[in-house]
């Protein structure tokens, strides 16, 4: 696994998400990590120039996209909060940055 993907995975506490049934996929260029569960997809892409993340959230219903949003300029310490909000998921062991 590429360094960027491994870093993103650690920042979102991937082990807890995997235990909760989330799945992961990354792109060929190894700059984005997709987290999905059911019909919801949360794609985290590194903006190398700014050292920030861009987030794309996609929801499907009956194989059709019903929501597709993008949020730019996200810091690593915001990722877990955004995942909780999007998936209506609560981390048990939330990482604390500081």
pLDDT score of 98? 58
Q: Which domains does the chain have, with CATH numbers?
A: 3-87 (3.30.457)
Phi-psi group of 86: left, alpha or beta (phi > 0 → left; psi -120 to 50 → alpha; rest → beta): alpha
* Mean pLDDT, rounded, for 5-33: 91
Task: Please give the Cα distance from 53 to 73 (Å, whole number).
Answer: 6
- Confidence check: pLDDT of 1 > 60: no
Residue 74: its H or E element: strand 64-74
* Banded pLDDT at 31 (limits 50, 70, 90): confident
Q: What is the mean pLDDT of the chain?
A: 91
The answer on pLDDT for 30 being more than 80 is: no
Contact 33, 43 (CB under 8 A): yes
Residue range 4-21: average pLDDT?
93
Contact at 8 Å (CB) between 55 and 42?
Answer: yes
| Ordered alpha helix ranges (H), 2-89 | 3-11, 14-19, 79-87
Please determine, for residue 81, whether its predicted confidence score (pLDDT) is greater than 90.
yes
Residue 20 near residue 34, CB atoms below 8 Å: no
């Amino acid at each position: 696994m590429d360094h960027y993907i491994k870093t993103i995975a650690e920042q979102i506490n991937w082990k807890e998400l995997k235990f909760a049934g989330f799945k992961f996929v990354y792109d060929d260029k190894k700059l984005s990590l997709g987290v999905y569960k059911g019909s919801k997809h949360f794609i985290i892409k590194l903006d190398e120039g700014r050292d920030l993340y861009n987030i794309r959230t996609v929801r499907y219903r009956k194989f059709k996209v019903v929501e597709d949003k993008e949020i730019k300029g996200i810091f690593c310490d915001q990722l877990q909060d955004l995942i909780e909000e999007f998936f209506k998921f609560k981390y048990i062991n939330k990482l604390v940055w500081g």
